[in-house]
Amino acid sequence: MGATETTTSASLDASFASDNVAGVSPEILEALQRANSGAALPYGGDRESAHLREWAKAEFGEQAEILPVFNGTGANVVSLQALLPRWGAAICTEEAHVNNDEGAAPERLGAIKLLPLASQDGRLTPEDVQAATARRGDVHAAQALAVTLTQSTELGTLYTPEQIAALTETAHSAGLGVHMDGARISNAASALGTSLAALTTDVGVDVLSLGGTKNGALAAEAVVVINPERVPGVEYIHKYSMQLASKQRFVAAQLLELFGTDLWRTNAAHANAQARVLAEGLASLEGVTLARPTAVNAAFPEMPVEMAARIQSRYLAHTWETAPSGLPVLRIMCSFATTDAQISELLQVARGA
């Protein structure tokens, strides 16, 4: 299961292809302009990076460390390398972004063995973790020593704090570290009405890939180390994985503007709300049902072939899967920049207007 791009035509409107097709939040552009003044020490010795470290400790706990990176792939690879010894493997779902959409970077660059498991809704369970550790101690098997969770999942589902706590308890009891791929953690926290810490520090996550780019930033993500004892040497991995920026102040300034204010929640709440409006509009059309609830900023409408063709003749919209009915299920995503007018226009196209 996974997204199949129906066309790559540059003439198609990309507005609903993903949340990373949107531009940069105006507030973040202003933060970059403010940071672009005078000289500053490189590699994290600047004022913005120092303030970002202070924010991370305030949000995730005094023990927390934050390492800005350029992209989500880098954040995931750095995190998992730090969590695992050379003989270790990471448990994930088959649908996980780290398994399907990182161009094999964990394997090729990080020498990380992934152990993908089937799931019903893109989420792991404590029972999955227990089953995946059955061959611990067998020299012929890669040793399951970490769990990586995607929040929100590629299927638009969410882990509640209670579900995360149950998973981390199971993992830690078996000696496994826990990583969260939080490329869309802002959307998850907004949907659940929680803080970022409530989905990480408070429920036992050891290291977080903190996503900014999909929520209004420009090439700005971070590795947040919540439990330093689990990831010794992560600062060296940060460097040799080519994710340490010389002019780090420009990455740090974006993360500070996004997460040091309410901008992350404002942007994510808008994207989530627009996806619900879009999903409800599509579901009101004849022949359309929703393949799954719209929990965050992704809608998954199952629709007649002719309607899907109309949408895909105008928009770059992915056919995510084929429903048991034989009809296509599209993935249509909203962003912090999605407007009411754009949604109205897509619905008109779907109707054949």
Q: How far apart are CA 24 and CA 21, in angstroms?
A: 10
Q: Among the CATH numbers 3.40.50.1220, 3.40.190.10, 3.40.640.10, 1.10.10.60, which is that of 26-261?
A: 3.40.640.10
Decide if pLDDT at 103 tops 70: yes
Quick one: pLDDT band at residue 7, thresholds 50, 70, 90?
A: very low
pLDDT > 90 in the chain, percent? 94
Q: Domain segments of the chain: what residues?
A: 26-261, 264-351
State pLDDT tens for residues 125-172.
999 999 999 999 999 999 999 999 999 999 999 999 999 999 999 999
Quick one: pLDDT band at residue 6, thresholds 50, 70, 90?
A: very low
Q: How far apart are CA 169 and CA 163, in angstroms?
A: 10
> What secondary structure, in 3-state letters, does the chain show?
CCCECCCCCCCCECCCCCHHHCCCCHHHHHHHHHHCCCCCCCCCCCHHHHHHHHHHHHHHCCCCEEEEECCHHHHHHHHHHHHCCCCEEEEEECCCHHHHCCCCHHHHCCCCEEEEECCCCCCCCHHHHHHHCCCCCCCCCCEEEEEEEECCCCCCCCCCHHHHHHHHHHHHHCCCEEEEEECCHHHHHHHHCCCCHHHCHHHCCCEEEECCHHHCCCCCEEEEECCHHHCCCHHHHHHHCCCCCCCCHHHHHHHHHHHCCCHHHHHHHHHHHHHHHHHHHHHCCCCCEECCCCCCCEECEECCHHHHHHHHHHECCEEEEECCCCCEEEEEECCCCCCHHHHHHHHHHHHCC
The dihedrals phi and psi of 4, each to the nearest 5 degrees, come to: -120, 115
Decide if pLDDT at 34 tops 60: yes
Quick one: pLDDT band at residue 183, thresholds 50, 70, 90?
A: very high
pLDDT > 70 in the chain, percent? 97
The dihedrals phi and psi of 110, each to the nearest 5 degrees, come to: -100, -5
Q: What integer pLDDT is reported at residue 159 of this predicted model?
A: 98
Decide if pLDDT at 346 tops 60: yes
**Domain 264-351 class in CATH:** alpha beta
Q: What integer pLDDT is reported at residue 9 of this predicted model?
A: 60
